[in-house]
Amino acid sequence: MEGYPIGQHKHITPPKAANREQRSEESRARILKAATSIFAEKGPEGARVDEIADQAGINKRMLYHYFGNKENLYLEVLRYNYNKIYTLSKNAINLADEPKVNVARAIRAYFYFLADNEAYVRLTSWEALCVGRFTGKLFPQFFDLIELEFDDLIKDGIERGCIRPDIDIRQAILSVRALCLAYFTQRKIVQSLWREDIFSEEMLEACLQHILNLIFDGLFI
């Protein structure tokens, strides 16, 4: 399990740990990666442990050795993927800039993060549906825009008189999130209806612009 001799020593504890520890770490990572793809594709109910082990190229026994059981593996997958949202966070806000610029930059970052992380999008969708069923409890972290300090952005915009003061910030966040997610959660339906590759560079940019226009000015004149 997690038996690194951290502060403890008898003799020199050289970075020899290499081979075995390294390989075990690799196995763990391979399982997590395979599990991500299969849980994202088929959901917590549809995913099969054997298929995950197979795709990871390890024996099922090892999966249980590293992760205990299917539910815990699923939770690890959620944690592992949720952490990815932090890779973009934080640097989106620069209070020196215009609120409009800040909001546009944050939405753009979020939108392209979703475009690049299909597994993440699907995992959040499964979670929204299965909450309280498979994992037994809710994973509120998946309400990710909050983590991006998006509400600070909006507050700043209101204070500086750029954003209408009467809006409900919680609802604004939910709306932005919904607008960005829609393209990717409805991907297959959209693709079959529009008969167009949503993931082309131009199309993605057009979708993003549509969202920004809507957020900034609405649809009406």
Partner DNA sequence: ATATTAAGTAACTGGTTAGTTACTTATATT
Partner DNA sequence: AATATAAGTAACTAACCAGTTACTTAATAT
Q: Which residues bind a copy of itself (CB under 8 A)?
A: 42-43, 45-46, 100, 122, 125-126, 128-133, 138, 140, 142-143, 146, 154, 157, 161-164, 167-168, 170-172, 174-175, 177-179, 181-183, 185-186, 188-190, 192-194, 206-207, 210-211, 213-221
Question: From residue 20, how far is each of 12, 14, 55, 68, 100 by CA, in Å?
Answer: 18, 14, 21, 20, 52
> Which contiguous run of DSSP H or E holds residue 49?
helix 49-56
Distance CA 93, CA 153 (A): 7
Phi, psi at residue 149, to the nearest 5°? 55, 35
* Nearest residue (CB) to DNA, 19 versus 171: 19
What residue 133 binds from DNA, a copy of itself, none (CB within 5 to 8 A, per partner kind)? a copy of itself
Q: Which does 18 bind (CB under 5 to 8 A by kind): a copy of itself, DNA, none?
A: DNA
CB of 177 to a copy of itself, least distance (A): 7
- Of the candidates 48, 32, 25, 26, the one whose C-alpha atom is nearest the C-alpha of residue 84 is 32
Binding-site partner at residue 122 among a copy of itself, DNA, none, CB < 5 to 8 Å by type: a copy of itself
Q: What token pair was written down for 202?
A: 């131009």
**Residue with tokens 């699923």, as numbered in its chain:** 74
| Residue 15 contacts DNA per CB under 7 A | no
**Binding of DNA at residue 161 (CB under 7 A)?**
no
From candidates 6, 7, 9, 14, binder to DNA by CB under 7 A: 14
With a CB cutoff of 8 Å and minimum separation 6, the contacts of 185 are: 121, 122, 125
Residue 155, number of CB atoms within 10 A of its CB: 14
Q: Give yes or no for residue 119 binding DNA (CB under 7 A).
A: no
Least spacing, CB of residue 39 vs DNA, in Å: 11
List of residues contacting DNA (CB under 7 A)? 3, 5, 10-11, 13-14, 16-21, 23-24, 27, 47-50, 58-62, 64-65, 69-71
